[in-house]
Amino acid sequence: MARLSDIIESFLKEMIIEEEGTVEIQRNELASKFNCVPSQINYVISTRFTADKGYYVESRRGGGGYISIKRLNIDSDNDYLMHIITSIENRISQLTAEVFIQNFVDYNIIKPREAMLLKAATSDKVLMLVPVERRDEVRAAILKNMLMGLTVL
C-alpha cells in the first residue's frame, strides 16, 4: 500500500503534467483533500519537488499559503547536468551525492554502471585520507568535475 506522501507526490505530478509544467496549489485545500495536516504537504513538496529533481518551488504567503511548483524545462541531458552542477554548493555529503546520482539514473541521464563509478569516486571510503572536515568540499569538487566530463560526451 502506498504511503500518503507517495500519493500526494503522484497527485501533484499528474497536476503538473495536466497544467503543462506549472501548478499553483493552496496548501490548506490540498491538506483537506488528503485529510492530513498542511505540514505533510510541506514535507512532500520540500523533499520530492527539489531543484535536483528538476523542479522550482515558490511559496507565497497570505491567502491561505499558495505554492507554485514548476517543472524545469530542460531540453537535453547536458542542460539537466549543467543545472545540477550549478545547484551543487561547495560542499556535499555522501548521502546527498548518492541521491543526485540516483536521480540521474532514474531520469535516464546516466547508466547504472556510470552511477556506480560516480558513487565510488565520491564515497567516504575513497576520501578517507582527506581530513573529515574537508571531505564534503573535496566530494563536491570531484562530483562537479565528473559531471562536467559527462556533459562533453
pLDDT tens string, the chain, 153 residues long: the values are 569 999 999 999 999 888 888 899 888 899 999 999 988 998 999 888 887 677 888 887 665 668 889 887 666 777 778 878 887 889 999 999 998 898 888 888 889 999 999 999 999 999 999 999 999 999 999 999 998 888 765
The set of residues, in sequence order, having a beta carbon less than 8 Å from that of 92 and lying 6+ positions away, is 100, 122, 136, 139, 140, 143
φ and ψ of 60, to 5 deg: -120, 130
**Domains of the chain as residue ranges with CATH:** 4-71 (3.30.56.130), 77-151 (1.10.1200.150)
Distant-in-sequence, close-in-space partners of 138: CB < 8 Å, separation ≥ 6: 127, 130
Task: Name the grid cell of 141.
Answer: 569538487
